[in-house]
Structure 1
């Protein structure tokens, strides 16, 4: 934990606490950006970075010691906190930067409110491989472990497949709990994933279930699945953030569409995730901090402090320019985000209520171990039960409507 002093004053107000997901070099770069946000008020900023973000935040809320600002990637979780009156609505001009699909307005008691703003985004519809590797018959790397949230690399697969097979409209219905888990489009996405990964040995399955999405660790840190011993594989389906484990290693990146048995008209629809800042404190300085972090100047500071492999990515939208790409991989990702995308759709599991998202994670792990159709039918039945129950529970609460549109249809 590091206290950062942006300026001097005769008084010493309490530090503003920012809780976020970034550790290691990412955390260091964000801390450095905070340090440079000199507003002349004498406020200090304490950054707490953790990989167990949800657990840490829930514990702090239960102890009535929430952070002033928290950065989360789950619209489902953020919606729950807003529903419980644990978030403060954003003020202008921050709200103007909370563009769809990453931070839609919520209807609260008949009023449209905005509760979070994206600080960075990542493109998820990507496939990674080593330069020179043939791509006609890929052998897939899969690592599904991730501490308390194991399974999300598998949900990313299913989400991306469904988006490219059924399109943004059906994807949105499913992500926002308006489509049954037994729907044929949903079933096909699961069975397509099983077919793409068919032929794995029992040892390979267990290795994937227990290996981190970062791959194995070496003297210099994570090695990435493409470079990990025991993974005889040629291609990896993973988000743009994974570039930090492959920096300078002759790795190429390309859109995932052609690998997923999708339809041509959905080729340039991409799945994205976002790290979004929300205010948990009634201290006006917390609102001011989020305003500065989400500004073009705040983005420039952050990028300037970060190594190329962990530089935050931003789409060129609402007049907020993206910076010059640092290398060929980032250049390709930047082009997909800002030039080629016909639609950008938020990560479906991160839109779902936490109970449904967690059940989705568990179901993916079980299905990966046993992809038999009978087992799949049982798992989807369980997920449908959770969906219906969560929807009924939501209807019992005060007037509050979560987002219904999570895809930004670019170019009209």
Structure 2
């Protein structure tokens, strides 16, 4: 060993001994340094290929900061998050699609306001500033978004005289494909202002405009025998291969969100705005119902807020699109964001960021969870018995749930969703 090497080795040993001494002195305070990287946990709704694409992007965000990230994907997101909160061990970041749930978490003090960099990407209707305890703050930011006001048909199939494919089963959340129908009909028949009042609990369920949306849905579906009704109630919203394939030749058109394109990734399909099918008013054709997956911080660790900032940034979105297969490439809220490369995805992105004049967040996702769940159940019951007497009974029950939810909100920690958090122009 030469003299230069001995000097370098001696300095290294001196530094190590100093570090070790510092650790030993700090042991009693629990402050001894840990050489292991800190791991932040992200809880989200994606599993299978979707989950793998997101997880791959997440791992590639590691840039030597000493932080590592792990992803937990589950189809029972609400139940999993609730159990973790009750156990006092929430994830650092959770990705939710329900604004109603996010508002409740903010009121309960579970959420940490986001940093300024992330809030710059959070705008209505995806992520409004929320009034909580007298302050206006941003508590979540969209990671991916979807366009809902769409109708799918096999290419070459005429647009007119649709025979509708309907699958309402979705495990614990069965019924939501029907709520999408009613929401879309109300939006295009009565407009964004009425839709916003209804979504935020200001408009009764027994209001004639809301009631008409339910009966219009039944009229559009047409007469159905018991076998057809039972089949729709027990068929998954995606079917074994997508409803256009699973239920043919009995149906020709499907009302479904943009996410369904992954089922038809290798099929020749046509996707159109839903407005032309719903009997709405022409002045509301530029309004579209949308949904989003929003990231919120449940940890006091500043690194969790920094992670949300990175997840909502251009690099993460570029990586995510690159790691996802055709049909699974996500949509993002602004025209300048990376967008899907498949033909169907590009068409939908063009509507979302170009053609649309008003975007209205999924009304049932805006509603308090109790109202939303009752809405899901009522849709299933009405689909099985679409009579006027049955509808009046169901709407009365929903009004009772709406009133109880409003009373609970009044008694809870102050906080409400502004009207701009439901409908807004694209890009803020």
TM over 0.5: yes
Residues 344-371 of structure 1 deviation map (CA, whole Å, 9 limit, x = unaligned): 0000000000000000000000000001
Alignment gaps of 5+ in structure 2? 1-32
1:30 aligns with 2:48: no
Normalised by the length of structure 1, the TM-score is: 0.93
Deviation by residue 1:156-191 (Cα, 9 ceiling, x = unmatched): 000000000000010001001110101111011000
Residue in 2 aligned with 1:302?
Answer: 320
How far off its partner does 1:315 sit? 2.6
CA positional deviation for 1:398: 2.6
Match of 2:410 among 388, 395, 403: 395
SS in 1 for 2:112: coil
For residues 71 and 253 of structure 1, the distance between their equivalents in structure 2, rounded to whole angstroms, comes to 28
Say yes or no: does 1:240 pair with 2:258.
Answer: yes
Structure 1 CA distance for aligned equivalents of residues 323 and 112 of structure 2: 29
- Offset of 1:225 from its aligned partner? 0.5
Equivalence for 2:99: 75
State yes or no: 1:338 paired with 2:353. yes
Partner Cα distance (1:316, 1:106) in 2: 21
| Maintained 8 Å contact 2:334/2:426 | no
- Return the offset for 1:43: 1.7
SS, match of residue 275 in structure 1: strand
- Counterparts of 1:73-112 in structure 2, within 5 Å, are 73-112=97-136
In the alignment, the residues of structure 2 paired with residue 128 and residue 46 of structure 1 have an alpha-carbon distance, to the nearest angstrom, of: 36
1:352 is matched with which residue: 356, 367, 375? 367
TM-score w.r.t. length of structure 2: 0.90
Cross-structure match for 1:409? 425
Map of 1:193 onto structure 2:
217
C-alpha displacement of 1:411: 9.7
Deviation string, structure 1 residues 376-409 (Cα, Å, up to 9, x no partner): 0000000001111110111112322223221113
Q: Which has the higher helix share?
A: 2
> Which has the larger Rg?
2
Shift of 1:110: 1.3
Matched, 1:224 2:248: no
What is the aligned residue count? 395
Note if 1:172 corresponds to 2:188: no
Q: Choose from 257, 272, 294 the match for 1:276.
A: 294
Alignment of 1:153-164 (within 5 A): 153-164=177-188
Could you say what secondary structure the match of 2:397 adopts?
helix
Q: Residue 4 of structure 1 corresponds to which residue in structure 2?
A: none
Aligned to 1:316: 334
What is the CA-CA distance between 1:324 and the residue it aligns to?
4.9
| Shift in Å, 1:327 | 2.2
- Give RMSD over aligned pairs: 1.5
Is the CA contact 2:38–2:66 (under 8 Å) kept in the aligned structure 1?
no
- What's 2:228 paired with? 204
Q: Which residue of structure 1 aligns with residue 392 of structure 2? A: 377
Aligned-partner Cα distance in 2 for 1:330–1:404: 30
Gaps of 5+ in 1: 1-8, 217-222
Aligned to 2:175: 151
1:255 is aligned to: 273
Quote the offset at 1:339 in angstroms.
1.4
1:46 Cα deviation from its structure 2 partner: 1.3
- C-alpha deviation, 1:14, in angstroms: 3.9
Q: What secondary structure sits across from 2:91 in the alignment?
A: coil
Report Cα offsets for 1:182-206 as digits up to 9, x if no partner.
1111011000001011211111111
Aligned position for 2:7: none
Say if 1:70 and 1:410 are closer, same or farther in 2 by CA, change over 3 A: closer
**Secondary structure of the structure 1 residue equivalent to 2:143:** strand
